[in-house]
Amino acid sequence: MKILPIALVYSRLAIGLLIVLLSIAHVDHYPFIAILLLNIGLVTDIFDGIIARQLEVSTPRLRRLDSSIDQVFFICVLIATYIQYPDFFKSNSLKVLALLGLECLAYLVCFLKFRKEIATHTIGAKVWTLLLVATLIEIIHRGESLWLFNFCFWIGLFTRLEIIGIILALRQWTTDVPSFFHALRLRQGKEIKRHKMFNG
């Protein structure tokens, strides 16, 4: 049972690569299949951490692996969606590049400061993940997204900036920092509360 969280994490990597391959092959009923796989990936993302904490195997190494594979998974879905709907991405290229740029900047800041990947797993990032999945589903289904994409964009900017702020505020690398407020408490040497189901 203790290997289950790791299996769920790596399954997300396999799902992401499969979505790309299906998109390249332009398989029949691609939108339905891609949306189904995307939701399965989301479920594995939700439950890998919960199960790991329940089994008491939620180590910093596993949290780092989880964060890294999350990035690869969503990059795969973005690539696959771009293959299917390039016009949408061309029309929104500046916003997409801004989000990707901030994501890369957050990783760069964290690596330069701590020589480790990001594994903050903030509440804001979790909310944004749900919004991102909803936005991707709309794009895959309809080939476009307007208000949902714009809402996702602004929330994405805020949460990326919050993560950068958290990294800069922390005196030492740590996982599962729910918000910038919690990072400030850690900087002051104070304890923070983490929900066992969702953080820590």
Q: Is 59 helix (H, G, I), strand (E, B) or coil?
A: coil
Contacts of residue 78, defined as CB under 8 A and 6 or more positions apart, other chains included, come to: 96, 136
Domain ranges of the chain: 4-187
Task: Give the integer Cα–Cα distance in Å for 88 and 33.
Answer: 20
When computed from its CA atoms, the radius of gyration of the chain, rounded to whole angstroms, is: 17
Burial of 25 (0-12, 13-18, 19+ CB in 10 A): exposed
Predicted confidence at residue 187, as pLDDT, reads 94
Structure tokens at 135: 């936005």
Let me know if domain 4-187 sits in CATH 1.20.120: yes
Structure tokens at 162: 């919050």
Task: Give the integer Cα–Cα distance in Å for 34 and 77.
Answer: 9
Contacts of residue 13, defined as CB under 8 A and 6 or more positions apart, other chains included, come to: 69, 72, 73
Task: Give the integer Cα–Cα distance in Å for 140 and 21.
Answer: 15
Question: 65 vs 8, 12, 106, 165, CA distance in Å?
Answer: 11, 11, 16, 22
Predicted confidence at residue 199, as pLDDT, reads 58
Task: Report the predicted TM-score, pTM, of the whole model to 2 decimal places.
Answer: 0.92
Nearest to 11 by CA among 35, 32, 36, 42: 42
Predicted confidence at residue 43, as pLDDT, reads 96
Read off φ and ψ for residue 82, nearest 5 degrees. -60, -40
Read off φ and ψ for residue 28, nearest 5 degrees. -65, 145
CB atoms within 10 A of CB 16: 25
Predicted confidence at residue 64, as pLDDT, reads 87
Task: Give the integer Cα–Cα distance in Å for 29 and 84.
Answer: 12
pLDDT in tens, the chain (200 residues): 678 989 999 999 999 999 999 999 999 999 999 999 999 999 999 998 888 888 888 888 888 899 999 999 999 999 999 999 999 999 999 999 999 999 999 999 999 999 998 899 999 999 999 999 999 999 999 999 999 999 999 999 999 999 999 999 999 999 999 999 999 999 998 888 776 655 55
Q: Is 179 helix (H, G, I), strand (E, B) or coil?
A: coil
